Structure 1
Amino acid sequence: MTYNITLILGDGIGPEVVNSARRIIEATGISIDWDIVEAGDVAMKKHGTPLPAFVIDSIRENGVALKGPITTPVGRGFKSVNVRLRQELELFANVRPIKSFNGIDSLHQGVDLIIVRENTEDLYAGIEHMVGGEAAESIKIITRKASERICRFAFELARSQNRKKVTLVHKANIMKLSDGLFLECGNRCAEKYDDILFEDMIVDAMSMKLVQFPQNYDIIVAPNLYGDILSDLSAGLIGGLGLAAGANIGHDIAVFEPVHGSALDISGKGIANPTSAILSGIMLLKHIGEFEPARRIEDALAQVFEDESNRTPDLGGDLGTKEFTQRIIDKMME
């Protein structure tokens, strides 16, 4: 069987890390027809838009995409391609597994949790305006439909992975209507999943608890902004964004991507850590039902990390992107 998958190389180090993941996936022997398309800064320069219509069309047709990091201008320029993709394709769930690796120096070991973030609304709806040149207003949108959908997704994910607890994050003590609605939806959803423990936690307390005891958590579900912040915080607990994967999932479409930025300062130097892209590729394989190839890559990556000589510069080593990639492929072939 041949799979049709959209491949978005991205900006900066995107092509380097995505092609690393591509090499490793292909080394498993799976037949994939990659539809390579451009988005981000390179597309802006070539097509006059950072997100050409053919990119959306390709993802819709194939249903699955592997995407590199895309630069988003700060305070100016075009709107976030990532946010537009999520909104246009209704990729309502951002899924970020956070799992520590043996052999990697990090603040914590034994971490194995998943953050599920609502992807389409909250402050990220992008509804903001200036008021008389002296103030800016940004509108926080929380709907019952989106809140119920993401809570249901979190519980179904917990059940499918034999996870025991879902923790809902909010700030309903202050934002009693918006976050209060999110919490209400979570409580109602939990009633239908009596086999799974449920708790809620205020976001500032959640931040502290994650830093102290991340091993105590299984699946965390949160509105968009809190989920974004907690995802990066949690990645820092296991060694950084270079060791965490990400997926944006809708009803019929899924886009998998490394969670770090485009790192323009090291672009083209061949030293980028491709682990996040590789882990995203593993998630992609599981999504399409290729569990055995995913396991082979997962096992090889874990074994490579157990050897302290197998480190890219961000982890204190001197292996380049291609060399690190080859070490994983070699381990898979043993």
Structure 2
Amino acid sequence: MAGFLFRNLCGRFRQSARIDRRLSPRPRCDFVRYVNGTGGHNPRVSAQTDVSAAKKPSIRVTLVEGDGPGPAVCAAVRKILKAAKVPIEWDRQTVRVRRDPITDRMAVNAELLQSAADTRVVLRGPATAPADDGSPVSTALTLHKALRASIGVQLFASVEGHCPFGYLSMVNVRDNVSAEYSEIEHLVTPGVVQSIKTVTRRQSEELARFAFDYAVAHGHRRVTTLHKANVMRMSDGTFLKACRRVKCDYPGLEYNEERLDKFCLQVVNEPCQYDVLLTPSLYGAIAGAAVSAMAGGPATVPYAAFGPDVAVFGTMYDGPAVCRNGVIAKPVINPTGLIRSATWMLQHLGMPEIRLRIEKALDETIRQGVKTGDMDGVASCEQFTNAIVKNVARQER
């Protein structure tokens, strides 16, 4: 009986995959130009022009504030970008997740998808609300799948004034939507559940090529792939083989492979031995959480998801809300991660000079000791934001 159920599920999955391939065009592999802002997601932005150098029409960006600390951190970002005179017109949308009765998969509201298709750039705050049927859901995962934003990038960098583990600089290029994040589970029999981990050569090679291209484009020297091939020989083995094939095209980069558990042990003692991480979905989430704590906390880490048609900029998990020991029902709201994501978005939109100005103002604010509680400071989100705005204005004088 269990075998019959498993074969039936696999058959349905293969049929669904064939339908998805017919409905969706083949994704392009050259994502790195979207990271650098040279691909021009927004047709109104020239790839060769720094729009910060001259007055330009407003660029439309989809804004998803989310819930919890989302509205507060998004308000902080909008205030800072307004102070820097960034020509952006916000298309404010609400994310709603529901279960599709036909596919039994989570789906995102059509209005948000249409806005993202029009603007091709999304800035999102944290969203933790359950689906419409009350079931727990990862809103970010559902959104990334709906937008085919299959590759995620996390940037970890400590800043003077807040270096809990000393200076740290690292990049995590991770899969967003497959392997353990395929969300294919079923009940075999009462008390027994199966979860299917899907790994494909094509998706693995696409992710690896993105990571190596990113390393070359940004001057990194070393790429480390995290795995558990000693346990999951076929799935992680397929991933490693794909990474090795792609590595042959980049002889100038050092390439290493390391088990996830060993990495978690080594990174605490010697973080400087890692440069660019190449990770499947679940391993990337675990490694990213560990490194984010070392870099200053999840609230300080920018995150971006890239696909062939859209780029999504946001934060790790619900990072902006950090609950402190001894503080009851009063979370600390830190907008740093979303601010850094917004400046990354400006680079993507062809505004590198404005990105540098805002990042300098942010770093200067932290060096001056104006920090939120999770960074050993006493400033509120509003006070922290106002200090950044003052430093932005000071640079214009």
Query: Normalised by the size of structure 2, how large is the TM-score?
Result: 0.78
Please state whether the residue corresponding to 1:187 is helix, strand or coil. Answer: helix
Alignment of 1:127-206 (within 5 A): 127-206=184-263
Q: Which digits, 9 at most, give the CA deviation of each residue in 1:194-219, with x for residues without a partner?
A: 12111111111111121111122111
Q: Which residue of 2 aligns with 1:16?
A: 72
Say whether the 8 Å CA contact 2:322–2:331 is kept in structure 1.
no
Q: Which residue of 2 aligns with 1:244?
A: 301
Q: Which residue of 1 aligns with 2:159?
A: 101
Please state whether the residue corresponding to 1:138 is helix, strand or coil. Answer: strand
Q: Show structure 1 runs of 4+ deviating over 6 A.
A: none
Q: Which residue of 2 aligns with 1:219?
A: 276
RMSD: 2.3
| Bigger radius of gyration among the two | 2
Within 2, Cα distance between the matches of 1:273 and 1:236? Answer: 14
Unaligned runs of 5+ in 1: none
Q: 2:317 aligned with 1:257, yes or no? A: no
Deviation at residue 6 of structure 1 after TM alignment: 0.1
Within 2, Cα distance between the matches of 1:270 and 1:210? Answer: 28
Q: Which residue of 2 aligns with 1:291?
A: 352
Say whether the 8 Å CA contact 2:322–2:332 is kept in structure 1.
no
Within 1, Cα distance between the matches of 2:130 and 2:196? Answer: 21
Please state whether the residue corresponding to 1:55 is helix, strand or coil. Answer: helix
Percent identity, aligned pairs only, is 31
Deviation at residue 50 of structure 1 after TM alignment: 7.9
Say whether the 8 Å CA contact 1:21–1:277 is kept in structure 2.
yes
Within 2, Cα distance between the matches of 1:34 and 1:54? Answer: 15
Please state whether the residue corresponding to 1:168 is helix, strand or coil. Answer: strand
Q: Which digits, 9 at most, give the CA deviation of each residue in 1:150-170, with x for residues without a partner?
A: 000001111110111111111
Q: Which residue of 1 aligns with 2:11?
A: none
State which of 372, 383, 389 in structure 2 corresponds to 1:329.
389
Aligned residues: 326
Within 2, Cα distance between the matches of 1:173 and 1:271? Answer: 41
Within 2, Cα distance between the matches of 1:77 and 1:149? Answer: 32
Q: Which residue of 2 aligns with 1:122?
A: 179
Cα 1:120–1:50, aligned 2, differ >3 Å: closer, same or farther? closer
Within 1, Cα distance between the matches of 2:333 and 2:107? Answer: 23
Within 1, Cα distance between the matches of 2:70 and 2:288? Answer: 20
Unaligned runs of 5+ in 2: 1-55, 100-105
Within 1, Cα distance between the matches of 2:140 and 2:194? Answer: 22
Q: Which residue of 1 aligns with 2:371?
A: 311
State which of 80, 83, 86 in structure 1 corresponds to 2:138.
80
Q: Which digits, 9 at most, give the CA deviation of each residue in 1:52-104, with x for residues without a partner?
A: 11101111111101001010549x61532211111121111110001011111
Alignment of 1:229-240 (within 5 A): 229-240=286-297
Q: 2:42 aligned with 1:3, yes or no? A: no
Within 1, Cα distance between the matches of 2:197 and 2:268? Answer: 27
